[in-house]
Amino acid sequence: MAGAVDLTTHPGHLARRLQQAHYLLWNSMVSEEITSPQFAVMNALVAEPGLDQRTVGARVNLDRSTIAEVISRLGRRGLLDKVRDPQDGRRYLLRLTEDGVRTHRKLTVRTARMNQVFLAPLSAEEQSAFIELIRRVADAAEGLRNPGEPLVAQS
């Protein structure tokens, strides 16, 4: 029988622990009502108003069913409007409402504070390196959704 493994060396275990910490900080410092994925969608629409649902999902790396649910919830809260695309009547374009823009602005300040707390154990240089490294791993992991694309280490 194999012995126990040291989970402190397992990236997935550490990622789960980081996600737990992020979730706790998000709920206590940012919002109990707006989730991190909902904020990401709002942020994408602040950057590029009028995107369609599929494009927003791609911008924030959410799958089709998750983005549909996030958009539905933001719409029910009055933070997002859907309008038919004049070029393609089957497609809807998304925009934040005035309340959505105000909410995004408020949450942006709170997320900045939360990120300071989240990264506080690291020096400024370590924070930059950490963000770059987890971005590279996350970007490479996106390839797992597209098995035809090889996962390649970048140096």
Over 60: is that where the pLDDT of 150 sits?
no
The whole-number pLDDT of residue 2 equals 80
Which single residue is written with the structure tokens 């020096």? 123
94: left (phi over 0), alpha (psi -120 to 50) or beta: beta
Q: What is the pLDDT of residues 79-119, one digit of tens each?
A: 999 999 898 888 999 999 999 999 999 999 999 999 999 99
Would you identify the CATH topology of the domain 13-142? Arc Repressor Mutant, subunit A (1.10.10)
Helical segments of the chain, H only = 11-25, 36-47, 53-60, 64-76, 98-119, 124-142
Find the Cα–Cα–Cα–Cα dihedral 44, 38, 107, 34, rounded to 10°. 170
Task: Name the CA dihedral angle for 14, 121, 123, 125, rounded to a multiple of 10 degrees.
Answer: 20
Q: Phi and psi dihedrals of 26, rounded to 5?
A: -60, -50
Per the model's pLDDT, the better-predicted residue between 101 and 155 turns out to be: 101
